[in-house]
Homo-oligomer: A and B are copies of this chain.
Amino acid sequence: MMVAHGVNLTKQRRIIADVLFERNQHVTADQLFDLVKQTGSRVSKATVYNTLGLFARKGLVREIFIDASRTFYDSNNSHHHHFYNVDTGDLIDIKDRLAAHFIEQDLPEGTSMDVVDLVVRVRNIKS
């Protein structure tokens, strides 16, 4: 899978990928560093940052920017969106259905909608 995306499979990247892709999750670099530590393996924090950056560039994970203070990485790289609870910090998947009223019907229990932020990322067409 990683080799298919043009990523050299090193020992550390293997360890990181095992923990990261074990399940669909949203983690910061620091959280992932701790998760790796909990398995007993030792990988430096710099390598966790480097590897997440590499995985993101290669399309293996998605970066999520919901607040300026930290970047989340989403091990589920299929096309989907998120509910973010500003009170609890919960980050919950929304399946890819864009209609606004549809989203409203699916709000997490006990929450009300605040703001819908949509960013369409584009790139210059290489000439």
Contacts and interface: CB of A to CB of B under 8 A. Distances in A.
Q: Which of A98, A121, A124 has the most CB of B within 10 A?
A: A121
Contacts of A98: 98-100, 118
Contact of A81 (B66, B86, B117): B117
Stoichiometry (number of copies): 2
A121 B67 CA distance: 11
A123 to B, nearest CB: 5
A123 B112 contact: yes
Interface stretch (A1-9, A16-24, A36-44, A102-110): A102-110
Interface residues of A, number: 41
A120 B86 contact: no
A123 B111 contact: yes
B117 A85 contact: no
Nearest to A101: B98
A46 interface: no
Interface in A51-93: 62-68, 70-71, 79, 81-88
Given A65-B67, A70-B68, A118 B117 contact: yes
18 contacts: A64-B119, A65-B65, A65-B117, A66-B119, A83-B122, A84-B119, A84-B120, A85-B123, A86-B121, A87-B124, A88-B124, A94-B118, A103-B120, A111-B125, A113-B120, A116-B119, A118-B118, A118-B119
